[in-house]
Amino acid sequence: MHRSIIRLKFNQHRLFGLLLLTFLLTTATSQFSDTLLNQTFYPTEKMIHYLKQPIFKGRPYFIELFVDIPDDELESVSIFFKVDSALDFEEIPIELIRGRYQFKYDPKTRTEKSFTYFFVVTTKDFSLYAVPLDDKGKISPNTVFPVDPIKYYESLGY
């Protein structure tokens, strides 16, 4: 019985520590994305992103980024992603697949009406690059509203 009480106290402390760590990481990520959204970036041709439209409801879609920075200089490539019901962006590291960085949007796991995103690349010399940018060099996140494919093609007269 004495060991059960000790084990219970240990598990409570462990749970509290885990919850505290989760809270701190979530807060740090949201503060980092807020800082990025207020920062000014220089336009660069080292990152290319083109959003292919339309994105259909119910179908997976790859959001792609091409980066023209040597691999040995890259520290990280991330997409900052949030759905319409979220308050903060989630930083998601993405990896190189067949010459491009890809993030898979899967409507089966993300069932919201819209999503918003932007990309950030960090190099080993602590340079930051972001896309998309507005004309003042501020991050201008893309917001996507997936459309019903039947209604889309009906609107085109098919």
Alpha-carbon distance 143 to 158, whole Å? 27
Of 33-42, 57-66, 138-147, the least confident = 33-42
Q: What is the domain-level CATH number for residue 98?
A: 2.60.40.10
Q: How many domains does the chain have?
A: 1
Pairing of strands 47-48, 61-67: antiparallel
Whether residue 81 contacts residue 115, with contact meaning beta carbons closer than 8 Å, is answered with yes
- Per-residue confidence at 10, pLDDT binned at 50, 70, 90? very low
Q: Are 100 and 87 in contact (CB under 8 A)?
A: no
Of 36, 39, 63, 33, whose CA–CA distance to 49 is shortest?
63
Q: In which domain, by residue range, is 110 found? A: 1-158
Q: What percent of the chain has pLDDT over 90?
A: 56
pTM, two decimals, is 0.76
Q: Give Cα 82 to chain centroid, integer Å.
A: 7
| pLDDT at 72 exceeding the cut of 70 | yes
